[in-house]
Amino acid sequence: MALSVKRQWKNIKWRQLLTTELTTSWKPSLQAAVLLYIAEMLQEGFHLIDICRFLMIIFPKQVKDFEHIAHGFSKGQHFYELVGFMKIKGNIVYQIKVAESFGQFGQSLEEIALYIQEQDLHIHRMRSVMLYPLMLMVLMVAMMFGLRIFLLPQLAAFTQNGDSGTLGNLIFFLEHLPEIASFAVMILTTAVLIYYLWRKRTDPLKRAQVYVKIPGFGFLFRLYYTQFFAYEFSQLFKLGYSVQQIISSLKQQDEVPFLHAFGVYLERQYLQGIVFSDSLKEIDVFANEFPAVVMQGELLNQLAVKTRLYSQRTLKRLYQEIDKKIKLTQSVLFLTVAISVVVVYLILMLPMLTMLESI
- Give the model confidence (pLDDT) of 21-36 as tens digits: 444 478 888 999 999 9
Q: What is the pLDDT of residue 35?
A: 92
Q: What is the pLDDT of residue 161?
A: 55
Q: What is the pLDDT of residue 312?
A: 87
Q: Among residues 42, 45, 28, which one has the least CA distance to residue 110?
A: 42
Q: What is the pLDDT of residue 7?
A: 42
Q: Which residue has the higher pLDDT, 19 or 193?
A: 193
Q: What is the pLDDT of residue 16?
A: 40
Choice among 1-15, 18-32, 219-233, 291-305 with the minimum mean pLDDT:
1-15
Q: What is the pLDDT of residue 353?
A: 60
Contact criterion met (CB below 8 Å) for 131 and 324: no
Contact criterion met (CB below 8 Å) for 313 and 293: no
Q: What percent of the chain has pLDDT over 90?
A: 11
pLDDT grade, residue 352 (50/70/90)?
A: low
Rounded Cα–Cα distance for residues 356 and 359 (Å): 5
Q: What is the DSSP letter of 170?
A: H
Q: What is the pLDDT of residue 127?
A: 79
14-28, 96-110, 263-277: which has the highest mean pLDDT? 263-277
Average pLDDT value for residue range 138-163: 70
Rounded Cα–Cα distance for residues 12 and 17 (Å): 8
Q: What is the DSSP letter of 275?
A: -
Choice among 1-10, 102-111, 215-224, 306-315 with the minimum mean pLDDT:
1-10
Q: What percent of the chain has pLDDT over 70?
A: 84
Q: What is the pLDDT of residue 222?
A: 93
Choice among 134-138, 204-208, 319-323 with the minimum mean pLDDT:
134-138
Choice among 6-20, 23-37, 72-86, 143-157 with the minimum mean pLDDT:
6-20
pLDDT grade, residue 189 (50/70/90)?
A: very high
Q: Among residues 119, 141, 148, 150, which one has the least CA distance to residue 29?
A: 119
Choice among 161-165, 250-254, 332-336 with the minimum mean pLDDT:
161-165
Q: What is the DSSP letter of 217?
A: T
Mean pLDDT score across all residues of the chain: 80
pTM exceeds 0.75 for this model: no
Q: Would the pLDDT of 8 be above 50?
A: no
Q: What is the pLDDT of residue 81?
A: 86
- Give the model confidence (pLDDT) of 271-318 as tens digits: 888 888 888 888 889 998 888 888 887 776 778 888 888 988 998 898
Q: Among residues 245, 269, 255, 264, which one has the least CA distance to residue 205?
A: 264
Q: Would the pLDDT of 9 be above 80?
A: no
Q: What is the pLDDT of residue 194?
A: 94
How large is the C-alpha radius of gyration of the chain?
28
Average pLDDT value for residue range 127-139: 77
Contact criterion met (CB below 8 Å) for 286 and 280: yes
Rounded Cα–Cα distance for residues 318 and 219 (Å): 9
pLDDT grade, residue 154 (50/70/90)?
A: low
Q: What is the DSSP string of 171-211?
A: HHHHHTHHHHHHHHHHHHHHHHHHHHHHHHHS-HHHHHHHH
Q: Would the pLDDT of 15 be above 50?
A: no
Q: Would the pLDDT of 11 be above 50?
A: no
pLDDT grade, residue 338 (50/70/90)?
A: confident
Q: Among residues 250, 253, 258, which one has the least CA distance to residue 199?
A: 258
